[in-house]
Structure 1
């Protein structure tokens, strides 16, 4: 698994736990980092930046997802899909060195592995519309 995909998976783990436990992502991240054996893997830095970035911009990210997820509220989305979308939207809007198609395809690939059969198509559509918005 490529390093950035591993980082996204770790970020998803933290955001998923924070979402389920209704805790701040940065607080869950701190506990997560304590549990990881040292030395930490190289990709962990990117995972931390994803979690911190999503946490910092969470309200705006959720607002954007909600406005582009036609017929779906954030609460109705599967927890994995919601958090994959958050990571991808953060990358689309705030990470300059990640191309939009890469951010979208990484979210879709993780959805194929970890979520419902409909999730990859759903995320691809929502994130594609958001990417169009982001490039304006």
Structure 2
């Protein structure tokens, strides 16, 4: 459970999707995890649960459907670390942020990056936030140069 639970439904959705992606990795990615129990487990207020679920479902679906492409991008922009050897938390934080940067353009790039760094601070190791920020900064440079679509 995070040290400080965010209040914004989209931020809470990222927490839930991070946990679901982590669980999916541990189970071999064979099925889409159920989000309802994670929302309940994160003590989301009942009045917010519907909004968190609505924000979580497409994010998780996009993450799972584009996992291979997202992992290729991670490998390209963090070549010193084979994707399968990355900490599952870091890997899933990067997947979420990359999905939002590339496929969910409603989310401003700065927001996607800031949210990823915050997730890394809460759930990752001491070096996770720096690592995630570095990879996403490199991706943003590639996007601004037109190297990624």
What's the TM-score, normalizing by structure 2?
0.81
Kindly tell me: are residues 47 and 72 of structure 1, through their superposed partners in 2, closer, same or farther at Cα, counting changes over 3 Å?
same
Q: 2:94·2:116 contact (CA, 8 Å) conserved in 1?
A: yes
More helix by share: 1
How many residues are aligned here?
Answer: 133
Q: Which residue of 93, 107, 114 maps to 2:116?
A: 107
Are 2:90 and 1:84 aligned?
A: no
Summarize deviations over 1:72-102 as a string: whole Å, max 9, x none.
1112211100000000000000011111111
C-alpha displacement at 1:134, in angstroms? 2.9
In structure 1, the gaps of 5 or more residues are none
- What's 1:75 paired with? 84
2: CA distance, partners of 1:33 / 1:106: 22
CA distance in 2 between counterparts of 1:75 and 1:62 reads 9
Q: What CA distance in whole angstroms lies between the structure 1 residues aligned with 2:106 and 2:143?
A: 14
Q: CA deviation at 1:33?
A: 3.2
Matches within 5 A, 1:1-136: 1=6, 2-26=8-32, 28-29=33-34, 32-33=35-36, 40-135=49-144, 136=146
**Distance change (3 Å), C-alpha of 1:34 and 1:76:** closer
Q: Is the 8 A contact 2:36 2:53 kept in 1?
A: no
Deviation at 1:55, TM superposition (A): 1.0
- The CA RMSD measured in Å over matched residues stands at 1.9
